[in-house]
Structure 1
């Protein structure tokens, strides 16, 4: 495989990987009824940009494609780090960086004032892990592993473009 073909293949991989990650989040939220916490919502942001990096790597060859894959690799690393932060919050290793991940503080001296100061939608605390699909790992932990595996594949493709083609022959 040529370097350009490897870049295009890695671009398609990033496109499908982002669709899968965002689709899984959508499915767990809208079909399974899981309520996302603030960290969950922040963890979705890199996947939107990974999609864009994948499209650029697929459509634009040569240097722009290469640098968009490098940007995708940086975004995959950011996704894995956000996942690590979320897993740390779930295991109570540290506090969540977002105040909305904690219980709401209700102000007011009367019952009416307290009800009016409550948020319209309750949020899920970030330290309550979501175990879905019957697996003993939280969604945040699964995302971290998923991001790390994809990052490893992109690194192999960028460093040794022929390595991806060699695995198909054997």
Structure 2
């Protein structure tokens, strides 16, 4: 015989409902994009083009995760709920792939986009050079702007988004596996 307190303290798969899992994904995604915006606007670390592209899945994935959590709380075994949660997993899988691609560019494993990597081209004349200085501010994609515990922000995005994709995938599996 168990008591309500023992039941509440005991680890249980039943408490890992799809609604709770996908709500955790929404919170984790929101915290991640909030951290990126904090690093940019408060700490002054300017993002490169690839950094900005990596944010797009979060802008889509967090609201989608909120809708999926709401659906999972109302109809946990519904096919549409499973499809919504699987979509969230796919969005964060794309975010992880973008982070991995950018980290590979930073480590020199492959070339990045030509507009933010590679050598700076020499202008033909001094007037062209001054015009370039006034109109262009390139943040390089192949240089690490900030490291946290030895990993670049792109590498952290790979780790975090990959984790969020795994949790969302597990939630989708739990939705259909019941």
> TM-score under structure 1 normalisation?
0.80
1:119 and 1:68 map into 2 onto residues whose CA distance is 46
Tell me whether 32-41 or 50-59 shows the greater mean CA deviation: 50-59
- Is it true that 1:90 corresponds to 2:106 in the alignment? yes
Match of 1:53 among 64, 72, 93: 64
* Residue 113 (structure 1) aligns with: 128
Relative contact order (alpha carbons < 8 A, sep ≥ 6): 1 or 2 greater? 2
> Greater Rg, structure 1 or structure 2?
2
Any residues of structure 2 matched to 1:12-161 within 5 Å, and which?
A: 12-60=23-71, 61=75, 62-102=78-118, 104-105=120-121, 107-109=123-125, 111-118=126-133, 120-133=135-148, 135-160=149-174
Using the TM superposition, give the Cα deviation of residue 27 of structure 1 relative to its aligned residue in structure 2, in angstroms. Answer: 1.2
Q: Is the 8 A contact 1:43 1:79 kept in 2?
A: yes
Pairing 1:10–2:21 present: yes
How many residue pairs match? The answer is: 160
Contact map agreement 2:68 2:84 (CA 8 A) in 1: yes
**What is the distance in 2 between the residues matched to 1:120 and 1:13?**
42
Matches of 1:144 and 1:101, distance apart in 2:
20
How far apart are the structure 1 equivalents of 2:26 and 2:167? 14
Q: Deviations over 1:23-77 (max 9, x none)?
A: 1111111122111111101000000111122122023343332211111111111
Q: Over aligned residue pairs, what C-alpha RMSD do you find?
A: 2.8
Q: CA deviation at 1:114?
A: 2.5
Which blocks of at least 5 consecutive residues in structure 2 are unaligned?
Answer: 1-11
- Kept in 1, the 8 Å contact 2:26–2:65? The answer is yes
